[in-house]
Chains A and B, each alone.
Chain A
Amino acid sequence: MNAPVPHQTLVTPEKPKALASGQFKVTARGVDVYYGDKQAIKSLSIDIPDRSVSAFIGPSGCGKSTFLRCINRMNDTIPTCRVTGLIDVDKHDIYDPKIDVVQLRAKVGMVFQKPNPFPKSIYENVAYGPRIHGLAAGKTELDTIVEQSLRKAGLWEEAKDRLAQPGTGLSGGQQQRLCIARAIAVNPEVILMDEPCSALDPIATARIEELIDELRQNYCIVIVTHSMQQAARVSQLTAFFHLGTLVEYGDTDEMFTAPQEKRTQDYITGRFG
C-alpha cells in the first residue's frame, strides 16, 4: 500500500494553479538522502515555484526537514549524511563541487524552529551577515540595510529604540522575527523555514504567518510545519511526505478539500494509524 508513487503523477505542471504560473526556483530530481545506512529520502523529485509559499507536511521522520536542509546544504554539517541526485536553485546544481556554500546559504536563507539570535545586540544580529558578505560600503549603508530588514520582518517599530540591546532580551516571537530579519538582510531569494512557529504563542504565530504572506511577494518560501492548519493558512502549495517519499504535491486548496492520495487524506484528517 505504501509503494512510492512516481512523481510524474504528482507534479503535473498543467494541474496545480500555483505551479502553472510562476517560474520554478528550486527543482529536484531523483534525490536520495542517507544518514549512514539509513535512507531518509527516496528518489524525490519536486518543482518549487518562485514567489509562493510551499508547505511540507508529514509525520515525524518522514524526511521533510531533511529535504528542506538539502536545499541550502545544511546537511553538509552532518558527517554521516550523503545526498545523491540533482537539486537546482535557479537552474544551478547546488551540489556542484565548485559552488561556494557560504554564498549559497546567503541566497537560500534559513529560519529554525527555536529562535536562535546571536548573543549580540539586535543591530549586530542583522548587520553581521551583510558585513561579512561585504554588502554595505559604510556605516550609513549598513544602517539602512538593518532598518529595511527589520521593517520587512515587522520588527522595526518595536526594536528601533533598543537596537543596542541584546537580541536575546526580546520575546520569543520578536526573536523569531529578528531571525527572519537576519536572514533577509543578506538579500536571499529562497527562505527555508523549519517549523518557525512551533515555539511561539498563537498571537506571535499569527504575526509570523502575516509576515510570511508579505514576504511571498518577493521570495520563494518553503516551510516545514507540523500544524496542518498552518500549512492550510499560509501556503499556496502543499507537499505531503511519508516514509521518505513525496506522496502528493499540489495546490493547498485542493490538498485540504480533496486530496488525491488516500495516505494524504488519512494524514490530514488525523487517521494515521
Chain B
Amino acid sequence: MTDHTVKSYDDDLSQLKTMLAQMGGLVEQQLDDAIDALTRRDTALADRVIQIDERVDVLEHQIEEKAILTIARRQPVARDLREIMVAIRVSSDLERIGDLAKNTAKRTHALSDQLPRKLMAGVTRMGRLAQVELKNILDAYSHSDAGMAMEVWRSDEELDALYNSIFRELLTYMMEDPRNISLCTHLLFGAKNMERIGDHATNIAENIHYLVHGKPLGEGRPKKDVTAAMRIDLEGSEDR
C-alpha cells in the first residue's frame, strides 16, 4: 500500500505491526517451550514459559496504548482503522494463547516421571499441530494474506478431531485405573489448552479476513469439538 502523506502516520502503524510481530514471536516461543517442558518434564523450562508471560502481558498493554493513541491522533478510517482494530483484537488473542501455554507449562510440575509415554503422545501431537497453526496464522497476519488465513481457519478441524479422540482415550485410562485420574486430568487440561489455542488462531484468521476484505467472515466455522456432549459410561459403550 502507498505511504501516507504524513510520514509519522506510517511510523505509528508500522510500530504497531512490529510490536505485534514481537508479541507473536514471544507467544510462539512460549508454546514451543511449554510443549517441550511437558514432554520432557522439564520444570526449569516450564518456569521460563511462566516468566515470558509477563513480557507478553506488557506488550499487550503497549499495543493497546499505541492503538488508542493512534486513533486519537489520526482519526483513522477504512483500511487504517481496520488495521488498528485488528491489531487490538489479535494482541488479545495472542495474550490468551500465551496464558494457555503458561497454564500447560505449569502442569509439568504435577506430572510424575512414571507417566506412561503413550499417554503423553496424543497431547504432544496436539501441541505440534497447535504450533503449526500459530506459526501459519502469524505468517498470514504479517503478510496480510487472507487466503493463507482461511487455510489455517479450515485446518483447525484437525485439531478438534484429535482433541475428541484424546478426550475419549484419556477417559478410558481413567476408567481402567482410578490412580490415573490425577495425571489424566492434567493431560486433559493440557489437550484442552491446545484446542483453545487453535480456536484463538481461527479468531485471528477471521480478523485477517476482515482486515483484507472489510467484511466479517459470513459463514460459521464447522465446530468439530464434540466433547461437551460426549458421555462414556462405565461399561465402555459410548453414547453421545
Q: Which residues of A contact B (CB under 8 A)?
A: 228-229, 232, 255-259, 264-266, 268-273
Given contacts A257-B82, A258-B82, contact A266 B77 (CB under 8 A): no
- Considering only CB atoms, which chain A residue lies closest to B2 in the complex? A271
Does A258 lie within 8 Å of B4, measured CB to CB? no
Q: Are B76's CB and A257's CB within 8 A?
A: no
Shortest Cβ distance from B215 into A: residue:
A258
A266 and B82: CB pair below 8 A? no
- A258 to B78 Cα, complex, angstroms: 5
A43 shortest CB reach to chain B, Å: 26
Say yes or no: B2 contacts A259, CB within 8 Å.
no
What DSSP secondary structure best describes chain B's contact surface?
loop
Q: Nearest-CB distance from B35 to chain A (Å)?
A: 39
A257 close to B4 (CB less than 8 A): no
- Are B5 and A271 interface neighbours, CB within 8 A? yes
0/1 interface trace, chain B 78-105, chain A, CB 8 Å (1 if under): 1111100000000000000000000000
Chain A residues lying within 8 Å of B234, measured Cβ to Cβ, are none
Q: State in angstroms the CA–CA spacing of A139 and B176 once bound together.
A: 101
Are B78 and A270 closer than 8 Å at their CB atoms? no
How distant is A231 from chain B, measured CB to nearest CB, in Å?
A: 10
Q: Which residue of B lies closest to A232 (CB)?
A: B77
State whether the Cβ of B229 lies closer than 8 Å to any Cβ in chain A.
no
- CB of A141 to closest CB in B, whole Å: 47
Given A265-B79, A269-B78, A258–B5 Cβ distance below 8 Å?
no
CB-CB contacts of B1-42 with A at 8 A, as 1s and 0s?
111111001000000000000000000000000000000000
Assembled-state Cα–Cα distance A265/B213 (Å): 13
Distance in angstroms between the alpha carbons of A256 and B1 in the assembled complex:
17
Q: Which of B6, B81, B213 contacts A270 (CB 8 A)?
A: B6
